[in-house]
Amino acid sequence: AQSVTQLDSQVPVFEEAPVELRCNYSSSVSVYLFWYVQYPNQGLQLLLKYLSGSTLVKGINGFEAEFNKSQTSFHLRKPSVHISDTAEYFCAVRVSGGGADGLTFGKGTHLIIQP
Amino acid sequence: GAVVSQHPSRVICKSGTSVKIECRSLDFQATTMFWYRQFPKQSLMLMATSNEGSKATYEQGVEKDKFLINHASLTLSTLTVTSAHPEDSSFYICSATSGFPNSPLHFGNGTRLTVT
């Protein structure tokens, strides 16, 4: 079974400052990795995903993440945040390959942008 | 782009009644749909996976007789919470795909269920 750990439940950052949201995973098999954003009372929107290839993945809204297999991490970064980035961010993992397996989510990190 | 419509967005029901939540894929064929439950300030917990035309596969600890899932067509899956109780109050989110992970996994906007 897979598991995801998001160490920070809440991260306050000043506007235009850089941010990193941490994500570590545990799995005995190869995995795919994802970051999703959730705005209040809404579903999830995909920010980016790592399936294979380059370990540095660029997503929407200026976010990027780097897959580090040796550290089993997939931290999310943005060089300059905006007020509109205030939301809940979820890291998720899924076993690699086909099939109908669902995602396993971390507990989420609430990103709070301060003016 | 592809959209998943989830309805209703909010529902309040009395204890003992049943509630049906619909999840529709609007412009793609959803061969697989997932139902998640989210508690306040917590992560999403996968409840079940449904493939069109097949019985849903429930995660351990999820009561299949309480949370009835039907995926009768390639564009519609329903979750029925039977004999709802206050502890069933939660945020339920569906997601759908035509072939994850190579095809995207699209999420509905969720349903806030409150059982009084």
Neighboring chain B residues of A45 at a CB cutoff of 8 Å:
107
Average pLDDT over residues A76-89: 96
User: CA A2 to CA A104: how far, in whole Å?
Assistant: 7
Average pLDDT over residues B58-62: 92
3-class secondary structure, A1: coil
The token duo for B52 is: 């069109």
- Would you call A100 and B95 a contact, using CB atoms and an 8 Å cutoff? no
pLDDT digit string (tens) for B24-45?
999 899 989 999 999 877 888 9
Average pLDDT over residues B7-23: 96
B34 vs chain A: nearest CA distance in angstroms? 7
Average pLDDT over residues B57-76: 92
B79 vs chain A: nearest CA distance in angstroms? 16
User: What values do phi and psi take at A60, rounded to 5?
Assistant: -85, 165
User: CA B46 to CA A48: how far, in whole Å?
Assistant: 20
CB atoms near residue A76 (< 10 Å): 24
In this structure, are residues B107 and B95 in contact, taking their beta carbons and an 8 Å threshold? Answer: yes
User: CA A31 to CA A92: how far, in whole Å?
Assistant: 10
3-state secondary structure B56-67: CEECCCCCCCCE
User: CA A52 to CA A31: how far, in whole Å?
Assistant: 9
pLDDT reported for residue B9: 94
- Would you call B34 and A102 a contact, using CB atoms and an 8 Å cutoff? yes
CA angle A95, B99, A32 (to 5 degrees): 25
Average pLDDT over residues A86-111: 87
- Would you call B101 and A49 a contact, using CB atoms and an 8 Å cutoff? yes
CB atoms near residue A14 (< 10 Å): 10
pLDDT digit string (tens) for A25-79?
998 888 899 999 998 877 889 999 999 889 999 999 999 999 999 999 999 999 9
User: What values do phi and psi take at A2, rounded to 5?
Assistant: -100, 160
pLDDT reported for residue B42: 80
Q: In terms of DSSP bridges, do strands B90-97 and B111-115 run parallel, antiparallel, or are they unpaired?
A: antiparallel
pLDDT reported for residue A107: 92
Cα distances (Å, whole numbers) of residue A107 to A21, A51, A102, B64: 12, 21, 16, 25
Confidence of residue A98 (pLDDT cuts 50, 70, 90): low
User: What values do phi and psi take at B12, rounded to 5?
Assistant: -120, 130
pLDDT reported for residue B61: 92
Average pLDDT over residues B61-87: 94
pLDDT reported for residue B100: 75
